[in-house]
Structure 1
Amino acid sequence: MTGAAGTTNRFGPLRFVLSFGVVSMLADVVYEGARAITGPYLATLGASAVMVGFITGAGEAVALVLRLASGPLADRTRKYWPLTIAGYTLTIVTVPLLSLAGALWQASVLIIAERFGKAVRTPARDTMLSHAGSSIGHGRAFAAHEALDRSGALVGPLLVGLMVAVSGYQLGFAVLAIPGALALVAVLLLRRAVPVPERFDPDGPDAGPRTSGTTAGLAGPRPPRHRLPAGFWWYSGFTAVSMFGFSTFGVISYHLEVQGVLPAALIPVTYAASMGAAALAALASGALYDRIGLRGLLIALPLTAAVPFFSFSTSPGLVWTGAVVWGAALGIHGSTLRAAVADLVPAARRATGYGIFTAIYGTGWLAGATIIGALYAVSLPGLITFIVATQLAALLAFLPLLRRPAVPARP
Structure 2
Amino acid sequence: MAKIRDRYFAGLSRNSFLLALSSLFSDISTEMVYPILPIFLTQTLKADGAIIGLVEGIATATQNIVQGFSGSLSDRLQRRKPIALAGYLLSAISKPLIGIATVWEGVMGGRFLDRLGAGTRSAPRDAMIAASVDEANRGRAFGLEGLGDNAGAFLGPLLAILLLIVLQFDIRFIFYLAIIPGLLGFLMVLLVEERPAAVEAIARIDVSPRRFPYAYWKYLLAVALFGIGNSSNAFLILQTTEIGASLTTTILIYAGYNLVAALISYPAGFLSDRLGRRNVLLAAFGIFLATYLGFALSPNVALIGALFVLYGLYQGIFRAVGKALASDYVLPELRASGVGWYNTIVGLCGLVASLVGGWLWDHVGHTSVFLFGAAFAAVGSVALLILVPADVTALRSFDPAS
Letter in 2 for 1:392: A
Gaps in structure 1 of 5+ consecutive residues: 1-11, 197-215
- Kept after mapping to 1: 8 A contact 2:389/2:395: no
SS in 2 for 1:386: helix
> TM-score w.r.t. structure 1 length?
0.81
- Kept after mapping to 2: 8 A contact 1:54/1:366: no
The whole-number CA distance in structure 2 between the counterparts of 1:60 and 1:297 is 24
Letter in 2 for 1:221: A
SS in 2 for 1:185: helix
The whole-number CA distance in structure 2 between the counterparts of 1:251 and 1:38 is 17
The whole-number CA distance in structure 1 between the counterparts of 2:274 and 2:150 is 23
- Kept after mapping to 1: 8 A contact 2:218/2:388: no
- Kept after mapping to 1: 8 A contact 2:12/2:137: no
Matching of residues 25-44 of structure 1 within 5 Å: 25-39=24-38, 41-42=40-41, 44=43
Confirm or deny that 1:356 pairs with 2:341. Answer: yes
Task: Call closer, same or farther: CA 1:356–1:39 in 2, change over 3 Å.
Answer: same
Match of 2:224 among 232, 237, 240: 240
Confirm or deny that 1:339 pairs with 2:324. Answer: yes
CA drift of 1:108 comes to 3.1
Other-structure match for 1:405: 391
Other-structure match for 1:182: 184
Matching of residues 52-131 of structure 1 within 5 Å: 52=52, 55-131=55-131
> TM-score w.r.t. structure 2 length?
0.83
Other-structure match for 1:23: 22
The C-alpha deviation readout for 1:152-182, integer Å capped at 9, x for no partner, is 2211111012223234643433331222232
CA drift of 1:118 comes to 1.1
Query: Could you tell me the percent identity over the aligned residues?
Result: 25
Q: CA RMSD in A?
A: 2.9
The whole-number CA distance in structure 1 between the counterparts of 2:388 and 2:366 is 34
The whole-number CA distance in structure 1 between the counterparts of 2:62 and 2:372 is 24
Task: Call closer, same or farther: CA 1:61–1:173 in 2, change over 3 Å.
Answer: same
Other-structure match for 2:268: 285
- Kept after mapping to 2: 8 A contact 1:53/1:370: no
Other-structure match for 1:134: 134
Task: Call closer, same or farther: CA 1:232–1:279 in 2, change over 3 Å.
Answer: same
Task: Call closer, same or farther: CA 1:29–1:359 in 2, change over 3 Å.
Answer: same
Task: Call closer, same or farther: CA 1:340–1:105 in 2, change over 3 Å.
Answer: same
The whole-number CA distance in structure 1 between the counterparts of 2:250 and 2:380 is 30
Match of 2:215 among 213, 231, 240: 231
Letter in 2 for 1:173: F
Letter in 2 for 1:172: I
CA drift of 1:28 comes to 1.0
SS in 2 for 1:137: helix
Confirm or deny that 1:14 pairs with 2:13. Answer: yes
Task: Call closer, same or farther: CA 1:16–1:329 in 2, change over 3 Å.
Answer: same
Q: Give aligned pairs, total.
A: 375
The C-alpha deviation readout for 1:253-301, integer Å capped at 9, x for no partner, is 45566877323x5544333222211112212321221122211101222
Other-structure match for 2:399: none
Gaps in structure 2 of 5+ consecutive residues: 1-10, 397-402
Match of 1:366 among 337, 351, 372: 351
The whole-number CA distance in structure 1 between the counterparts of 2:13 and 2:395 is 19
Other-structure match for 1:201: none
CA drift of 1:317 comes to 2.3
The whole-number CA distance in structure 2 between the counterparts of 1:53 and 1:246 is 18
- Kept after mapping to 2: 8 A contact 1:301/1:391: yes
SS in 2 for 1:173: helix
The whole-number CA distance in structure 2 between the counterparts of 1:106 and 1:255 is 30
